[in-house]
Amino acid sequence: MEHIPVELVDLLESLSFDALSQKQRQLVLNQMTEEEYRAHQKIILEATELDYAIPEVAPLIMPKPSQPFWKKPIPLWQAVSSVAAVLLLFFFLPRDSEAPVTISKTSPAIQFVHDTVVKQLPADTVFTVATRWIIDTVYIGSTLVQELPQRILEAPNNLYIPLKDAFSGISSVSLKEEKNRISIPEAIRVEL
């Protein structure tokens, strides 16, 4: 669309071509001829005088007032059937005691709690086990050395690998004896 100066419409609605100033006339003639300007004005004039036959307006049909849903009336059968449905659900749904026990999957948080329980074991039990382990280990080493020749006799087809001299020289040491207590860690000795 070509550009139309907005002043042109103002002039068309307010001034005849003869009443235009020289400057206004120039503006008009840049867009249209004098005859077109006059014809435009005739159309506008006639349009304002147009007479349309307007009939009587039909009466307004009143819209129903809008209500929130909880205020809207419902038929009786709907209300009764709703109550019946609730009662049926109440009587026929399985109770909590009959419901199967569901075991939920352990979450990482619960695993953390499990770790905490382990840490709550009595400290003296831990120390007792550690003490026995030390003593038993010492005795087992001693037993191996003592039983080795007998085992070789009982299984002659086995490959015999002689023990190193240092190993065979291990002898049992009883940690229960007073003179050996010095080799046990201080904390363990106190618990014993």
DSSP 3-state of 32:
coil
Residues 36/29, Cβ–Cβ less than 8 Å: no
Query: Under the criterion CB under 8 A, does residue 41 sit at the interface with another protein?
Result: yes
**Both ends of the chain: CA-CA distance in Å?**
106
Per DSSP, the three-state class of 86 is helix
Stretch that binds another protein, among 51-59, 95-103, 108-116, 149-157 (CB under 8 A): 51-59
C-beta closer to another protein: residue 33 or 180? 33
**Which residues touch 134 (CB under 8 Å, ≥6 apart)?**
175, 184, 188
- Please report whether residue 13 would count as binding another protein according to CB under 8 A: yes
For residue 20, the minimal CB distance to another protein (Å) is: 11
Which amino acid belongs to residue 44? I
Q: Within the chain, where are the H helices?
A: 6-14, 22-29, 34-48, 76-92, 108-119, 123-154, 165-168, 186-191
CB 51 to another protein: min, Å: 7
- Give the Cα separation of 46 and 23 in Å (integer): 27
Q: Which of 43, 113, 152, 188 binds another protein (CB under 8 A)?
A: 43
14 binds another protein, rule: CB under 8 A: yes
Q: Per CB under 8 A, which region of 42-50, 79-87, 109-117, 143-151 contacts another protein?
A: 42-50
Binding to another protein (CB under 8 A): which residues in 54-113? 54-55, 57-58, 60-63, 65-66
Per rule CB under 8 A, count of chain residues that contact another protein: 38
Q: Are 53 and 42 in contact (CB under 8 A)?
A: no
- Residue from 21, 38, 80, 81 touching another protein (CB under 8 A): that is 38
Residue 21 binds another protein (CB under 8 A): no
- Which residues in this chain contact another protein in the complex, by CB under 8 A? 1, 4, 6, 8-10, 12-16, 19, 36, 38-52, 54-55, 57-58, 60-63, 65-66
